[in-house]
Amino acid sequence: MPFPLLFIAIVSLFQFSIAGVAPEITTVQEGYNIIAKLPCLGCPFLVQDTSRGENESWTVRTDDNALLLNITLPYDSSYIELNGQRVWPAYSKLQKIYANQVVQDISDENLQAIISTGQLESSHETYSGGGYFGLSYSQSLRHIRNASAFIFQLDIIEIWSDLPPTPILHKLENPNQKMLELLLLQKPVMSALEPISSEIIKAELVSRGHHGKAQNKDQQVMHFLEWDSFGQKGTLTHYLSSWGSAMLNFLDSGIWALLAVIFGILLLFVLVCVICIFGCDFWQDDYSQAQHGKARGQRRRVRGDVEQGKVGFKSAEELGLLGRGRVVGLGKSD
C-alpha cells in the first residue's frame, strides 16, 4: 500500500473511533465531574415528531436507550450532586431529580455537544428536544477498607414521565440492569480550617449487588411520585412545611392578609390571657373545695371511729386522739 493511502486509512480509522459510540462514563473534569450514560434496559423511548410543529404530542417507541447522569463533586465541600441536585448527604429531604434520555448508541460527538452546552439537567425545563424522566432511586454511601475511601452507589429503580398524554411509569426490573458506582477518596486535610472534601477516584457501571447489598442504615430510597417540593407526602415535615408555605403565600397576597394574621395573633393572645386568668381561678376554687371536702371527710371518719371506740375496740392512745378529734368535730358542727 502506498504511503499516502495508508495515512488516509489511519486517519479515517482515527476519525471513526472519534465518532464512535459514547462511552458509559465520560470524564468532564478529572476527580470532580463525570457524565454517566446509564443504559435503561427495556425502558420506553420517548420521541416527539417536531416536523409538523413544536406542539406535537410525545409518543413511545421501542429503542435501546440510556439516561444521562451528571455527577459533580464541588471542590470545597463534601456533597455529591446528580443532575444539578444534591443527592448526598441528603438529610431528611431527598431531591426530585430528572434525567434526560438519549438513544443508547449516541455518538461521542453528540454527547460532547450536549456536555459543552451544559444543558444536561436544565433541558427538562427549557425544552431542548429530548425526552426526560423523573427518577426513583436508591442510594448508599459506605466506607470501605480504610476510613478515607467511600463507595457511593446509585441505582435507578423507576422512571416516570408526564410528557405523553397519559403519564408513563416504568420499573427498571431487568436482571441485567446496572447501577452507577463511584469510589470516592477523602482528601487529606492540611489545616483545621479547611473543609473536608473528596474526589472521584473511579466511576463505573456495575451490576446490582456489586460490593454486596448496602445495609438499610446506609441506604436512602426516593420514590419520585411520593415526594414533592415539601418533602415526602404524608409525613409531619411535609405537613408543616406545606402549611408554612401556604401561610407565607397568604401573607404575600396583600396588606389585608397581613392585617388579618396580626389580628388573629392578637386575638389568640387575648384568648390565652383570659383562659389563664379565669382558668387559674377555677383551679384555685377546685383546690379549696377539695381541701374543704377532705377536712369534712376526716371529721366524718373520726366520728365513726369514736362510736367504735365506745364499744371498746380501740387502744387508749387511739381513743385519746379520737377523743380530741371528737371534741373538735363537735365544737365545729354544733
Ligand X SMILES: *[C@@H]1O[C@H](CO)[C@@H](O)[C@H](O)[C@H]1NC(C)=O
Which residues contact ligand X (rule: CB under 6 A)?
Answer: 55, 70, 72, 81, 84, 115, 118-121, 145-146, 148-149, 185
Q: Which of residues 126 and 288 has its CB atom nearest to ligand X in the complex? A: 126
- Tracing cell 478515607 back to the chain, one arrives at 148
Q: How far is the CB of 280 from ligand X (least distance, A)?
A: 58
Q: Which of residues 143 and 292 has its CB atom nearest to ligand X in the complex? A: 143
Nearest one of 69, 95, 73, 82 to 150, comparing CA atoms: 73
Q: Which of residues 32 and 170 has its CB atom nearest to ligand X in the complex? A: 32
- Direct distance between the N- and C-terminal alpha carbons of the chain, in angstroms, rounded to an integer: 139
Q: Which of residues 119 and 128 has its CB atom nearest to ligand X in the complex? A: 119
Q: How far is the CB of 41 from ligand X (least distance, A)?
A: 24
If one counts every other C-beta atom within 10 angstroms of the C-beta of residue 67, the result is 23
The residue sitting closest to ligand X, measured at its beta carbon, is 120
Strands 85-88, 178-186: pairing kind = unpaired
- Tracing cell 446490582 back to the chain, one arrives at 208
Q: Which of residues 120 and 302 has its CB atom nearest to ligand X in the complex? A: 120
Q: How far is the CB of 252 from ligand X (least distance, A)?
A: 27
Chain-centre distance for alpha carbon 303: 70
> Are 82 and 97 a contacting pair, CB within 8 Å?
yes
Q: How far is the CB of 144 from ligand X (least distance, A)?
A: 7
Q: Which of residues 120 and 179 has its CB atom nearest to ligand X in the complex? A: 120
Q: How far is the CB of 200 from ligand X (least distance, A)?
A: 12
Q: Which of residues 119 and 235 has its CB atom nearest to ligand X in the complex? A: 119
Q: Which of residues 106 and 185 has its CB atom nearest to ligand X in the complex? A: 185
